[in-house]
Chains A and B, each alone.
Chain A
Amino acid sequence: MEATTRQFTGNARQALKNDNLRAALDKLSHGFPYKRLEAAARLPEFEALRDQSRDIKAHVLENLDFYLQQFESKVIEQGGQVHWAKDAAEARDIILAICQEAGAETVTKSKSMIGEEIAINGHLEANGVRPVETDLGEYIIQLRKEPPSHLIAPAIHLSMDQVADTFKDKHREFAADRPLDQPRELLEEARTMLRREFLAADVGLTGANLLIAETGSIALVTNEGNADLTLTLPNTHIAIASIEKAVPTLEDATTILRVLARSATGQELSVYTTFVSGPKRPDDMDGPENFHVVLLDNGRTQMLGSEFHDMLRCIRCGACLNSCPVYGAIGGHAYGWVYSGPMGSVLMPGILGLEQTGDLPNASTLCGTCESVCPMRIPLPAMLRRWREQQHARRLTSTKSRMMLKLWAMLARRPGLYRAVMGLGVGFMRALAGGRGSLKSLPFAGGWTAVRDLPAPEGKTFTALWKERRK
């Protein structure tokens, strides 16, 4: 996927004009955050579990090499293979090579953000392998050739009518006048289409929510069971995961799973939670003959030990997106690449580079809601500020804004001068307002008055009046 992170403001402007998107986002922000609160209220130890989950991942990140090697040797012990990919291109090549070795024509896929990050679908298509998304939301956006707009609800930006139109356009084998205005009807049709793909697939490609070092297992959560069909039916299963997904034990995995779904959707657990350990064993009734895990770095080891280290605790629950006022206004696509919301604005500069992602750390009110809901207690606002510090230090901000800031800061450290200048400014604004209480426009304040009036100042500054009245 081509990154349009540099066009953030234009993307956002387009998004704000999209009424369908607005309706979808209103529904999202009135849904998941409240469900999360209710789920948290039902579990007295929820806050303690957040602390434990944070501590587990913090420990893993301190010992990542150890746990990844432990994971690798356990996978191999069970007859699986582990591949290390330093970047997206390597991961794509590894996956394509496995598919080609399997003689694959069709690859079913369950939802994977790493799959999006490495843009695997385009690479497979370009090489004659047909990828089929099997998560309903991903299936819909694949038909529409759109990227996901949310970590866990990839088609959240679409209305049901839009989905029905897409199905009518792409599923030509059904009667054109069939009813498609009920969720059930849409679901049945997608199920009919996907069932054959599941059975025809030569390779199943999944993500992994967790990599469990002590058992060499991957954990997968879905609400649709599509990952289970993806990984059990074909002869070859490839799981792709970024390296920070490791946890030491099954016990640790269950601790994190207890906060994951609750934070995401308010569910106690996702409908399906699956642990996969290696390929089919001789006594197993079914399962793939070949089991591969592709471990992706793609910038993670650069973040490790850096001031963005804590971001690697992220478990991609989407809670920060669900309650972010900026995400709620513009949706996921405006962010311009695979991730979005507060976690995306911290992560994407780390993967794509700060030069490509200048607006992302700035397009936040630093309201702190994201940190307050993050199950892993990632200090997202502090990290957005750190990216801003880097932008400033590396002179990636505009000369004009730097000069304005310098001028203001120079005044702020010289109270006498500050008072004289600000006193004049305040008097000017008061005179401009006349007897009115607010200004509709003001020179140099177009950013403010574009969308709101400016309440006029009372007239004199507090410090001037205090001096007059109290001294």
Chain B
Amino acid sequence: MIQQAPHVGLFATCLVDLMRPTVGFAAAKLLEDAGCRVDVPMDQTCCGQPAYNSGDTGEARAIAKHVIAAFEGFDYVVAPSGSCAGTLRVHYPQLLKDDAAWAARAEALAQKTHELFSFLTDVLNWMGGEARYDATATYHDSCSGLRELGIKQQPRTLLAGVEGLELKESREAEACCGFGGLFCVKYPDISERIVDVKTADLEATGADTLLGGDLGCLMNIAGRLKRQGSAVKVRHAAEVLAGMTGEVPPLGEGKNDGAED
């Protein structure tokens, strides 16, 4: 039992860091609302998936060690992404299992690393604060979070407490969006066909908003929706849960949209 407020190291993830800082602040707010003390180590960059999934295990190991050293002092490590949390939780121990100096440290970090929504509900037993968001939304289950970490109900439980928000399930909620990290730029035409299944499926629900927990997938889906001229809004669920939707427009939207390129 941790007597004081649990000390959480927020692993923002590289995409949130670069593209959507509001998600980082939303995650920090949710963690603080749930009673945690939050810090953001400035040593963080990326979990190393681009190297790991490209077969460069040497670099992946080096980056893993860097992340472990930066975060192992915290009670918990939390990331607003199932994919990056999964890398720390599932893949670091595999990457470093034969490294005598690092195997135990990787395992220890894995044990205390969590994806944001599952940490709030499963670990802290926190069921959400006060937030309002008027929308009919559908939720996209990102692959790694769903299949590596078993994240399915947790974000829905939290979102159920948001006033004004109606959640509609889509038939293909669990289908891959075609992002796949570097896959989507290596094989853009295959990725396009896959994301089109996703966008058609979510349009079929009649929802006006798509929510999810992984920025990579959300940027892919939002980018495709924009290209298709769709009006469906896309947001990271943390923005909605933290009541921070007023601070940033939906993904891919801006105040001068519609102006000529």
Contact = CB atoms under 8 A, between A and B. Distances in A.
A463 B45 CA distance: 9
A447 B188 contact: yes
A13 B250 CA distance: 32
B104 interface: no
Nearest to A29: B197
B15 to A, nearest CB: 10
Contacts of B147: 367-369, 371-372
B40 interface: yes
Interface string A414-443: 010011001001100000011111101000
A329 B55 contact: no
A325 interface: yes
Contact of B226 (A9, A389, A438, A461): A438
B59 A405 contact: yes
A346 B256 CA distance: 47
B183 A409 contact: no
Contacts of B197: 325, 328
A406 B52 contact: no
A200 B126 CA distance: 74
Interface string B81-104: 000000000000000000000000
Contact of B57 (A389, A402, A412, A445): A389
B21 A460 contact: yes
Contacts of A392: 54-57
A455 B223 contact: yes
A368 to B, nearest CB: 4
A73 interface: no
A174 interface: no
A401 interface: yes
B20 interface: yes
Given A13-B189, A328-B197, A363-B190, A458 B54 contact: no
B121 interface: no
B253 interface: yes
A409 B56 contact: yes
A269 interface: no
A448 B20 CA distance: 18
B246 to A, nearest CB: 14
A330 interface: yes
B187 A406 contact: no
Contacts of B173: none
Given A393-B55, A452-B192, A436 B18 contact: no
Contact of B223 (A408, A415, A453, A467): A453
B111 interface: no
Interface string B250-261: 111111110101
Interface in A441-471: 445, 447-448, 450-458, 460-463, 465-467, 470
B53 A385 contact: yes
A325 B175 contact: yes
Interface string B108-148: 00000000000000000000000000000000000110011
B212 interface: no
Given A328-B194, A450-B192, A466-B28, 6 more contacts: A326-B190, A385-B53, A435-B259, A455-B222, A462-B12, A463-B40
5 contacts: A330-B190, A389-B57, A450-B192, A451-B224, A453-B227
